[in-house]
Structure 1
Amino acid sequence: MENSLRRILVCEYVTGGALCNGPLPTDLMDEANAMVAALVGDLVALEGIHVTLCWDNRLSPPSFPSDRVALFPVAPGEDPEARWRTAAALCDAVWPIAPESDGQLGHVAALFRNTGRTVVACASDAIALASSKTATAARLAAHGIATIPTVPFGTMPSPAVRHVVKPDDGAGCLDTFIVDDIAAWHPPHSGRWIVQPLVEGEACSLSMLVDAAGGVRLLGCNRQKVGRGDGSFSFHGVEVGAMEHRRAAWEPLARAIAAAIPGLIGYVAVDLIDRPDGPVVVEVNPRLSVGYSGLSRVLGWNPARDILALFNTTSADAGREGAHV
């Protein structure tokens, strides 16, 4: 089928200029750069694809071995969202990458949808649900999927020797604390905090491709490098494909998650804890994740082609939000 999406705007929140009028978060920069490098590299490996990349011009310009990547700078003093809309007007489709924190992913996806361009993103309802760890846990549990019992901070949590406290809409390991005495703990800043029992096991993730009908292809079974220290977790990257021996056990889980959350489409990542009695879901990320980095190398084929095909405007109803309604 002919691909009508030739000019792709890649807009990653941290490196793409969203924070051009404030400090850059160094703790997210490595992950942001890894996702941008992997995605842009895969896109320009496809014949006929030209990429425009939104870029905070305070950062060193990335180097790509292609003349089909154009930087679209966003500078301090400018309105990043106005610049993004201008960039979108130059392209056929937009591929946004943003954290769920403070509704950022949902906001950015809606902003680009309002430009009339094809947006490579999950449906707004799916993004909203998955952006809340409390709502996600409740939805998955209602569908019989093993997940961590999750309650708002201040509510009586499940009995446990130790608990984990984190923002309800947090990203990665940021502000994720291991607490021995939950009754004496106080949040370091305001926000919607949640409490979960500390579940022991191996930190892992799924990389999956979901189509408009809810069909699932499990792309990668990954191990996460997560450390503990000083009462908190720290994230040190993903070993893509390191858990392939668990594929048979995890494929039914991937299908069940897609069925439980209508509106997931394209690349979706799932964080989980693998235990002897089976996997326990931590969260669902309705967006590109660090697990995408190196995925094409492990697979031996280019997943960007298949993801774009789901949103190709020449495919009947592909990628429309109503596809899961």
Structure 2
Amino acid sequence: MENSLRRVLVCEYVTGGALCNGPLPTDLMDEANAMVAALVGDLVALDGIHVTLCWDNRLAPPPFLPDRVALCPVAPGEDHETRWRDAAALCDVVWPIAPESDGLLGHVAALFRGTGRPVVACAPDAITLASSKTATAARLVEHGIAAIPTVPFGAPPPPAARHVVKPDDGAGCLDTFIVNDIAAWRPPHTGRWIVQPLVEGVACSLSMLVDDDGGVRLLGCNRQRVERGTDSFSFHGVEVGAMEHRRAAWEPLARAIAAAIPGLRGYVAVDLIDRPADPELNGPVVVEVNPRLSVGYSGLSRVLGWNPAGEILALFNTTSADLGREAAHV
């Protein structure tokens, strides 16, 4: 890949030092490590690419650390955003990974855009929309895309024998509850809660690459390992490529989602429930759109047989990158 971008700053929120002055969330650590390992591994496999990795120095050094990766440690007591900005100033492009919860993904992307470096991220409006499950469902339905009916908690719930309640900007299965009596249920803490019907089917995800013009390349058709308990779900990873037999049905869905949400760009993940055996329901229903790298990226290059990081980076390449800056890194 011909690329004027030489040093890439990878900044994953959980492992990158954002929580340096508080406890680390053990329930998110495995997914965070998997995404970092996959992305860094793909980046250093590209010719001429060096990586700076933001890293909470309370964590053990990553075992996958190769020669072309330098750590930017963030220690307790430090201002992580200052450390991140300083690291970005020495790099040619920034690739942030953060959850949408509490506007974190939008905030981190804006922080790095403020450094003047190209940022591998969707447009701000697309991030804002996709960070709300209510807004996302409404937008998709407006464009004729099947999405789970979603209403704010307290509004009349969608008809269903059982319901799912979760934060409007939640990540994964965290704080996601299965409720038999929605009228009697109360949130465990404050926030913007939503109610959806419990939809039967196979928990899946698709990984897609969206270019500047909204063109879509479907990268992966995946099955999620989600277990349903009595009153909650638990997430146990993604089987990348396990749903390739559904590619023909999912390709038009991926294109439709990109058309419905302008500003999606680069790697985008979509969680869905697949229902191929039910002719009345007719196929997949979208759960949420993740405008960022997801755990489904882990193992993607192995399944594809080629490295998607190069094509993603190329979408954010700029001729204004200072090629002379590389000499200062050696």
Bin the TM-score by the shorter chain: over 0.9
Other-structure match for 2:313: 308
Retained in 2: the 8 A contact 1:3–1:314? no
Give the partner amino acid of 2:140: L
Cα-to-partner distance string for 1:110-150 (whole Å, 9 max, x where unaligned): 00000000000000000000000000000000000000000
Deviation, 1:66, is 2.4
Cα-to-partner distance string for 1:34-67 (whole Å, 9 max, x where unaligned): 0000000000000100000000000000023621
Retained in 2: the 8 A contact 1:269–1:285? yes
Counterparts of 1:105 and 1:22, CA distance in 2? 19
Give the partner amino acid of 1:293: S
Give the partner amino acid of 2:292: R
Other-structure match for 1:44: 44
Counterparts of 2:117 and 2:241, CA distance in 1? 33
Counterparts of 2:220 and 2:2, CA distance in 1? 27
Detail structure 1 runs of 4+ shifted over 4 Å in the superposition: none
Other-structure match for 2:327: none
Other-structure match for 1:320: none
Other-structure match for 1:283: 288
Counterparts of 1:229 and 1:215, CA distance in 2? 39
Other-structure match for 2:130: 130
List alignment gaps of at least 5 residues for structure 2: 277-281, 321-330
Counterparts of 1:58 and 1:239, CA distance in 2? 30
The answer as to 2:57 corresponding to 1:57 is yes
Other-structure match for 1:18: 18
Retained in 2: the 8 A contact 1:146–1:281? yes
Counterparts of 1:285 and 1:33, CA distance in 2? 18
Retained in 2: the 8 A contact 1:2–1:314? no
Give the partner amino acid of 2:288: E
The answer as to 2:3 corresponding to 1:3 is yes
Cα-to-partner distance string for 1:155-203 (whole Å, 9 max, x where unaligned): 0011100000000000000000000000000000000000000000000
Cα-to-partner distance string for 1:285-323 (whole Å, 9 max, x where unaligned): 0000000000000000000000001001039xxxxxxxx
Other-structure match for 1:252: 252
Counterparts of 1:131 and 1:20, CA distance in 2? 24
Counterparts of 2:118 and 2:54, CA distance in 1? 17
Other-structure match for 2:118: 118
Counterparts of 1:23 and 1:33, CA distance in 2? 16
List alignment gaps of at least 5 residues for structure 1: 316-325
Counterparts of 1:300 and 1:169, CA distance in 2? 34
Retained in 2: the 8 A contact 1:14–1:32? yes
Q: Taking structure 2 as the reference length, what is the TM-score of the superposition?
A: 0.94
Instruction: Give SS of 1:183's match.
Output: coil
After the TM superposition, which of the residue ranges 61-70 and 198-207 deviates more from structure 2?
61-70
Give the partner amino acid of 2:240: V
Other-structure match for 1:268: 268
Give the partner amino acid of 2:311: D
Give the partner amino acid of 1:307: I
Give the partner amino acid of 1:188: P
Q: Percent identity?
A: 88
Aligned residues: 315
Other-structure match for 1:151: 151
Other-structure match for 2:216: 216
Q: Alignment RMSD, CA only?
A: 0.9
Other-structure match for 1:228: 228
Counterparts of 1:131 and 1:65, CA distance in 2? 32
Counterparts of 2:67 and 2:158, CA distance in 1? 55
Counterparts of 2:193 and 2:64, CA distance in 1? 40
